[in-house]
């Protein structure tokens, strides 16, 4: 069971489930804030109790529920209370904290998911590095690996054709661990502690609210809005990720690739596209299940033909993410850039863009 709002690195787990003949179910997003209605979640967690009962495993578990504590698309913070809700319905829970952890405190003595994944490097403002899957020992003990790799076995025989896995987490740590980078995590966490994650949280919250307030009030001379925000437009129940498209005065969208190019030239590091979160994108752009199924089969040769078949005006959006290094000047400079570059600017520059090869 997954929410539409998930990074592809979580969506992809559905294929493991499918190959083991488990059923896969998605809980939809609803409304312009791109949140999950709790009634939909409760219904999905409890649905099909009779018919699925046979599929409970020997430990009495019904399956895995995976959701992000914070959306990497919209910044929405989904309730941490869902961990307990899903536990009550017999699910293990995988909480994706990759977008949440850099600017929010996650107390695992209070919120007790079975698995938490996160990317340490995102906490420290690095573009890449090591991440982790935290697992409760009881949850780890339920996992079965269909293969082994170097470093994961106690003993193995080639001629005897048997292997004995390690009993602890090292049974899941393939190959040579990145021991040159792992110590950086400790240094990074100490540094973050010295600043205080609560302070980072308040700073990011203030910058986000200020940016949302400014972006949603900018208007072309025609009176039309410059910015279309996807997700919550106030600071409540969200983190420091603001996703939007810019509009021309005639209401058409500015191609996000153009914004990426022009923003980079002005010194801004923005992410554009679909952010590896197709479900939140489908929710934001109002794409229905029927159209994705038919269109996907008919016309997925290139991303441009896929977008045209879905009648989508553009391939994604623009994302501003605040973190511990962001300042008020950054936010002010970005708003000034958006105003001076896109306010009252007509359509035209898009025609020079190359075809899209991937989303
Ligand atoms: C919510 C979320 N989950 C998962 C990931 C994947 O992280 P990584 O690329 O470190 O595996 C990201 C990365 O942007 C993310 O924001």
Tell how far the Cα of 7 is from the centroid of ligand 1, in angstroms.
Answer: 6
What is the DSSP secondary structure assignment for residue 175, as one 8-state letter?
S
CATH for 197-352? Answer: 3.90.1150.10
272 lines ligand 1 (CB under 6 A): no
pLDDT given for residue 268 in this prediction: 94
119 lines ligand 1 (CB under 6 A): yes
Pocket test for ligand 1, best of 3, 70, 95, 98 (most atoms within 8 A of CB): 98
pLDDT given for residue 347 in this prediction: 85
Tell how far the Cα of 294 is from the centroid of ligand 1, in angstroms.
Answer: 29
Q: Do the domains 2-193 and 197-352 sit in the same CATH topology, yes or no?
A: no
What residue owns the CA closest to ligand 1's atom 13? 98
DSSP string, 133-146: EEE-HHHHHH---S
pLDDT given for residue 49 in this prediction: 52
Domain edges within the chain: 2-193, 197-352
The values of phi and psi at residue 56, to 5°, are -60, 140
pLDDT given for residue 51 in this prediction: 45
pLDDT given for residue 297 in this prediction: 58
77 lines ligand 1 (CB under 6 A): no
Residue 82 and residue 95 in contact, taking contact as beta carbons nearer than 8 Å: no
Say which residues have a Cβ less than 8 Å from residue 152's Cβ, sequence separation at least 6: 145, 165, 166, 170, 171, 172, 173, 174
Element (H, E) at 308: helix 303-309
Average pLDDT per block of 10 residues along the chain, 359 residues long: 98 94 94 96 78 54 93 98 96 97 97 98 93 95 90 96 94 94 95 96 98 98 97 97 97 94 94 93 85 63 74 84 96 98 88 76
- Which CATH topology does 2-193 take? 3.40.640
131 lines ligand 1 (CB under 6 A): yes
pLDDT given for residue 53 in this prediction: 44
| 274 tagged catalytic | no
Q: Which residue reads 């809700």 in tokens?
A: 85
């Amino acid at each position: 069971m997954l929410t539409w709002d998930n990074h592809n690195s979580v969506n992809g787990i559905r294929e493991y489930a499918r190959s083991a003949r488990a059923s896969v179910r998605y809980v939809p997003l609803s409304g312009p804030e791109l949140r999950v209605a709790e009634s939909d979640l409760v219904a999905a967690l409890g649905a099909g109790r009779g018919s699925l009962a046979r599929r409970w495993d020997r430990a009495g578990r019904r399956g895995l529920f995976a959701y992000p504590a914070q959306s990497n698309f919209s910044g929405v913070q989904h309730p941490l209370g869902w961990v307990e809700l899903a536990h009550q319905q017999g699910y293990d829970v995988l909480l994706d904290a990759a977008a949440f952890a850099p600017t929010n405190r996650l107390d695992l003595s209070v919120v007790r998911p079975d698995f938490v994944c996160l990317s340490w490097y995102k906490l420290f403002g690095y573009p890449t590095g090591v991440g982790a899957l935290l697992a409760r020992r009881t949850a780890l003990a339920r996992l079965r690996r269909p293969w082994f790799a170097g470093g994961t076995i106690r003993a193995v025989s080639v001629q005897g054709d048997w292997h004995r896995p390690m009993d602890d987490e090292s049974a899941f740590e393939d190959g040579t661990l990145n021991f040159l980078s792992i110590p950086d995590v400790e240094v990074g966490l100490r540094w973050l502690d010295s600043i205080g994650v609560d302070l980072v949280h308040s700073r990011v919250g203030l910058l986000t609210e200020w940016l949302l307030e400014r972006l949603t009030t900018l208007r072309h001379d025609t009176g039309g809005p410059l910015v279309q925000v996807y997700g919550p437009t106030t600071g409540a129940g969200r983190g420091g990720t603001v996703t939007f498209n810019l509009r021309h005065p005639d209401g058409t969208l500015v191609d996000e690739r153009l914004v990426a190019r022009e923003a980079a030239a002005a010194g801004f590091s923005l992410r554009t596209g679909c952010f590896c979160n197709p479900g939140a994108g489908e929710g934001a752009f109002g794409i229905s299940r029927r159209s994705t199924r038919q269109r996907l089969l008919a016309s997925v040769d290139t991303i441009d033909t896929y977008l045209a078949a879905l009648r989508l005006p553009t391939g994604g959006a623009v994302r501003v993410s605040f973190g511990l290094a962001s300042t008020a000047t950054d936010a002010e400079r970005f708003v000034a850039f958006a105003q001076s570059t896109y306010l009252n600017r007509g359509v035209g520059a898009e025609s020079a863009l190359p075809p899209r090869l991937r989303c």
